[in-house]
Amino acid sequence: MTLLRGPELAAAFDRGAHAYDRLVALNPGYHGQLRRSARRLGLAGGGAGRRVLDLGCGTGASTAALLSVLPRAEVVGIDASAGMLERARAKHWPPAVTFVRAALEDLSAGVVKGPFDAVFAAYVFRNVADPDAALGMVRHLLAPGGRIAVHDYALSGRRVDRMVWAAVYHSVVLPLGALTGDRDLHRHLWHSVDAFDTAPAFGDRLRRAGFDQVRVVRLPGWQTGITHTFLGRRPVRETDDPS
């Protein structure tokens, strides 16, 4: 299967938006894991006076995770799927939360204005055609010293973790896709994880993109070795060229 990209992927999420919240609710620990990754940004004071960019906010699960940790922050959520954003906007949010329809690749066109103190990106980078370019755009939207937390499926590289992921996909994810009529989207999920960086490789990708203080942290529970938090910082002093 060819991976879904750009408008095709956004359209697939549009079709699946009606069932998305119900599906993720069936994933043990889904929301708790997002909150854990949001806490790992390490922003103090409840986020008072801070601007946070929520990349690929979807129906707002990652936005809610951020607000549970940073209730006083200004949060800007962006997503390429109109259907997912419609679901997000229908929920109750404080005035400091806004949503913008845009693909990650659109950031270079100025669809949102920096600088941001932090960027939270859940389940995003394995869905873009050029993750290096996307990381470069994110880096330039961050203020010097600003932090990034990427929360995503990225296998550890151990054979046992790949076997666990395969078992979960075939016994849970694919049948759910068949039941909801979103089989193509769920097949994309499998292939996108399989084709994506291992966790150590994505950590190296962050370093090449010019981030420092990079850490790769496993998440607990059944997703250990499958889902990770990737942390980094835009250096306080740097050149425009991270190389």
- The predicted-structure confidence for 46-95, as pLDDT tens digits, reads as follows 999 999 999 999 999 999 999 999 999 999 999 999 999 999 999 999 99
pLDDT of residue 191: 83
Is the pLDDT at 173 greater than 90? The verdict is no
Is the pLDDT at 42 greater than 50? The verdict is yes
Full set of structural domains in the chain with CATH: 6-233 (3.40.50.150)
Indicate the pairing of strand 74-79 with strand 97-101: parallel
Q: CA 41, CA 45: separation in Å to the nearest integer?
A: 12
pLDDT of residue 178: 62
Q: CA 45, CA 239: separation in Å to the nearest integer?
A: 30
Q: Of 121, 222, 124, 125, which is closest to residue 172 (Cα–Cα)?
A: 222
Is the pLDDT at 140 greater than 50? The verdict is yes
pLDDT of residue 184: 74
Q: Are 141 and 115 in contact (CB under 8 A)?
A: yes
Q: CA 145, CA 138: separation in Å to the nearest integer?
A: 13
Query: What's the predicted TM-score (pTM) here?
Result: 0.92
